Amino acid sequence: GNGADFDILVYAIIKGDMATTLLPNKTPLPDYTLFTANDSRWLVALSAANEVDAIAALKAMSATQVGDMVKNQVVSGRVLSTDLSNGQVVNTLLSGKSFTISISGSVITLTDGVNNPDVTTANILTNAGVLHRIDDVLK
């Protein structure tokens, strides 16, 4: 990939046994919302120089570890940016993990206590629901 796409995320979804949940070929389509970064930020999160190294890093992890990384980027339900409110606490699919929404003007920030990424592209509709591109990986 060119760093702007989601190849590493797609690999992580498959490796983490989340594909049947998030990438289905069935109706009704599931309602999930992904808050996730593109490949260039996943490289940083995985301390990888390139996509090949990132995939190798994911391969070295257990399916549960990778699945937990994916679950921490996913919220149940179809959540558009207009559904978010300042101060709202959003629970991820990873048990016990959440982030807080901060809205300042047109900027939506996800406060996870580590990276605090901003939403860079909101409301990308996918067959899994909605994807919001953020500028870092949720920790």
Burial 76-99 (b: 16+ CB within 10 A, else e): eebbebeebeeeeebebbbeebeb
Q: Would you place residue 121 in the very low, low, confident or very high pLDDT band (cuts 50, 70, 90)?
A: very high
Residue 39 pLDDT more than 80? yes
Handedness of CA 19, 7, 98, 121 (dihedral sign): negative
Q: Which helix (H) or strand (E) holds 133?
A: strand 129-134
The whole-number pLDDT of residue 12 equals 95
Please give the model's pTM, rounded to 2 decimal places: 0.90
Q: Is the separation of the CB atoms in 113 and 106 below 8 Å? A: no
What span, in angstroms and rounded, lies between the C-alpha atoms of 77 and 60? 31
| The pLDDT value given to residue 74 | 95
**Mean pLDDT for all residues in the chain:** 91
Q: Does the pLDDT value for residue 28 go beyond 80?
A: no
Q: What tens digit of pLDDT does each residue of 56-99 get? A: 999 999 999 999 999 999 999 999 999 999 999 999 999 999 99
The answer to whether the beta carbons of residues 122 and 108 sit under 8 Å apart is: yes
Give CA–CA dist 97/75, Å, rounded: 10
Between residues 114 and 1, the one the model is more confident about: 114
> Are the C-beta atoms of residues 94 and 21 closer than 8 Å to each other?
no
Backbone angles phi, psi at 51, to 5 degrees: -65, -40
